[in-house]
Amino acid sequence: RLAAGEGEILTVAVARAHRRQGLGWQLIDAVLRELHAQRAEALFLEVDETNTPAIALYRRLGFRQVGQRPNYYRSTEHGPTGALVMRRDLR
């Protein structure tokens, strides 16, 4: 979604059987191109701090951590985990 010059990704998901094929990269790249066309200034997202593959992808795409939300997610596997707030400047 886009508001006041800032984009936000709410959900990105790739089926387990199709991971590690560049689909996440392609999805984010499509969002970045659309936001560039709309002259957005920044893009934000949140990611579970235990999701190391996603964090690595976002960093490769130029995102940096700008905040953290402790105990934001609940999972049966990890219990409560924090969310990293990440940002990529587009200008």
Query: What's the CATH number where 76 sits?
Result: 3.40.630.30
Res 68: pLDDT? 97
**pTM of the entire predicted model:** 0.89
pLDDT > 70: percent of the chain: 100
Give catalytic status of residue 58 as yes or no: yes
Query: What range does the domain containing 55 cover?
Result: 2-89
Per residue in 49-69, pLDDT (tens digit) is 999 999 999 999 999 999 999
- The CA distance from 25 to 54, in Å, is 10
Average confidence score pLDDT of the chain? 94
The pLDDT of residue 15: 94
Residue among 34, 58, 72, 77 flagged as catalytic: 58
> Strand runs (DSSP E) across the chain, as ranges?
2-3, 6-8, 42-48, 64-75, 79-89
pLDDT band at residue 75 using 50, 70 and 90 as cut-offs: confident
What are residue 82's phi and psi, to 5 degrees?
Answer: -85, 160
Active-site hit among 46, 72, 73, 77: 46
Number of domains in the chain: 1
Whether 73 is catalytic: no
